[in-house]
Amino acid sequence: MFKRALKRGLKVAQTAKEMGKGLILGAPGVGHGVGEYEDFERIRAEAALMDRQEGVTADDGAEFEVISAGTREISAEDLRILLEVEQPEDHPLILDVRQSSEWAAGRLPNAVHVPLGTLEDRLHELSTANGVVTYCASGMRSIDASYILKRHDVHDVRSLAGGIEAWERAGSTIVRD
Question: Residue 134 is part of a domain; what is its CATH number?
Answer: 3.40.250.10
- Taking residues 119-137, report their average pLDDT: 95
**Structural domain contains residue 46:** yes
> Sorting pLDDT into bands at 50, 70 and 90, what band is 123?
very high
Calculate what percentage of the chain has a pLDDT beyond 70: 63
**Structural domain contains residue 34:** no
Q: 37-57: per-residue pLDDT in tens? A: 455 566 667 767 776 776 655
- Taking residues 21-42, report their average pLDDT: 47
Greater confidence (39 vs 100) lies with: 100
**Structural domain contains residue 116:** yes
Q: What pTM did the predictor assign?
A: 0.62
**Structural domain contains residue 80:** yes
Residue 88 pLDDT more than 60?
A: yes
Average pLDDT, the chain: 76
> What torsion do the CA atoms of 70, 150, 49, 116 make, to the nearest 10 degrees?
100
**Structural domain contains residue 17:** no
Max Cα-Cα span within the chain: 70
Residues linked to residue 133 through DSSP beta bridges, in sequence order: 94, 158
Domain count, the chain: 1
Query: Phi, psi at residue 104, to the nearest 5°?
Result: -65, -30
Residue type, 175: V
- 157-160 and 72-74: which strand pairing? parallel
Whole-angstrom distance, CA of residue 135 vs CA of residue 149: 13
Residue 114 pLDDT more than 90?
A: yes
> Sorting pLDDT into bands at 50, 70 and 90, what band is 85?
very high
Q: 143-169: per-residue pLDDT in tens? A: 989 988 988 888 899 999 999 999 999
**Structural domain contains residue 177:** no
- Taking residues 114-134, report their average pLDDT: 95
Alpha helix ranges (H) inside the chain: 2-21, 40-53, 76-85, 100-105, 119-122, 140-151, 163-169
Structure confidence at residue 1 (pLDDT): 47
Residue type, 22: G
- Taking residues 48-72, report their average pLDDT: 56
**Structural domain contains residue 76:** yes
- Taking residues 79-105, report their average pLDDT: 95
**Structural domain contains residue 32:** no
* Residue range of the domain that includes 48: 39-169
